[in-house]
Structure 1
């Protein structure tokens, strides 16, 4: 099988996983990818691979934009605080990219990793009720960039 065939099969699998995922699972998938992008950006910044760092930082910003746009601030008491976290992280990633500042990337990892863990715990503890809670909080319209 050619490399293209493997990549196409992998893309099909990922697309199916996204299309069939519950809102809770979509949210955890977004957070997983967000942290992965930040970790990859941090590594790239450490070795001064600025093109790669920028690519990962921009993708992380896209995910934060999706999380921000799907957050329903009028339907969830904690939404304003979470919106503030997303806004801060987005600005920090822009700064990290423009100024090639690995510390800003690390701050975002430190800030967002506990949120990733919390959403995973919420989804695992209450699989039947987590989806409506997540859907109410984020609007159930999440997409993966």
Structure 2
């Protein structure tokens, strides 16, 4: 690893370690959509190895989003979990069937969510989390944290 790569790696690590829960969520969504864009471009070019690598990474991110979703503190969490489940299955199919349209479908589904998370993180205004008064305050936006 050259000096630039080492500095960049350290910067990214520091950014992740110091990020708020909402900041981490926006980072995950940004990388997820980047993976989908890269996978789509690779699929268009017939570069199936690169497409597969990006789709697998996207599936890992969706799995992380699923594991961090607090379904016990937000009424809408079950619906979001269903959406994540659908996206993860569709990404699997996009990869195994080499189907660019499925990759694009996932990007179309996830982009509005990415924008919403960025807006919530920017304004610092949590969306309606839970009606549960016992929920910890540190959960942040939409019960993730």
Give TM-score scaled by structure 2 length: 0.88
Q: 2:124, 2:65 → 1: CA distance?
A: 21
Structure 2 residue matching 1:74: 3-state secondary structure: coil
- The count of aligned residue pairs is 135
The question of 1:19 aligning with 2:25 is answered no
* Alignment check: 8 A CA contact 2:21 2:140 kept: no
Task: Tell me: higher relative CO, structure 1 or 2? Use CA pairs within 8 A at least 6 residues apart.
Answer: 1
**Given the alignment, which residue of 80, 83, 92 partners 1:82?**
80
**Given the alignment, which residue of 41, 54, 57 partners 2:55?**
57
Q: 1:33, 1:77 → 2: CA distance?
A: 27
- Offset of 1:7 from its aligned partner? 1.1
Describe how 1:1-145 pairs up with structure 2 within 5 A: 4-126=2-124, 132-134=139-141, 137-138=143-144, 140=145
Give TM-score scaled by structure 1 length: 0.88
- Offset of 1:4 from its aligned partner? 1.8
Point out the structure with the larger helix share: 1
Q: 2:62, 2:88 → 1: CA distance?
A: 7
- Consecutive unaligned residues of structure 2, counting only runs of 5 or more, are 128-137
- Offset of 1:126 from its aligned partner? 2.2
After TM superposition, what 4+ stretches of structure 1 lie above 6 angstroms from structure 2? none
- Consecutive unaligned residues of structure 1, counting only runs of 5 or more, are 141-145
